[in-house]
Amino acid sequence: MGMRRDAGAVVVALHDGFFGCGTGAGHSNRRLLGLLDDLLPPHVELIVLPVRLAEGSAHYDADWHRQVRVELGRSGHTVRVVPVDNGTAGRKRFGGLNAFV
């Protein structure tokens, strides 16, 4: 798949603030996503790499997640979300070293 010469992307990795919020960083990360979505030129793709939380996780917040998705849909440019696993199969926001063994 080719990209236009004037196209680009900004990639943001988040440990908190996309599927829910468990720390102050979650609030900051959500605000950062909103600012990037508002400020990036329309031809620049925003790629978000949140730590995946399963809907059944105690850390998952359906209302928060829905609101973040709505906020990211306002700009009209492409936003791609690629959840990443932290070794807990989506059960926990933070995976320690044992989660990767």
Check: CB of residue 52 under 8 Å from CB of residue 20: no
Check: CB of residue 39 under 8 Å from CB of residue 73: no
HSE-CB for 38 with a 13 A CA cutoff: 7
Residue-wise pLDDT tens digits, 12-60 = 999 899 999 988 899 999 999 999 999 999 889 999 999 999 999 999 9
Q: Which of 13, 53, 16 is nearest to 36 (CA)?
A: 13
Q: Express as a percent the part of the chain with pLDDT over 70.
A: 90
C-alpha to C-alpha distance for 38 and 43, rounded to whole angstroms: 13
Give the 3-state secondary structure of residue 8.
Answer: strand
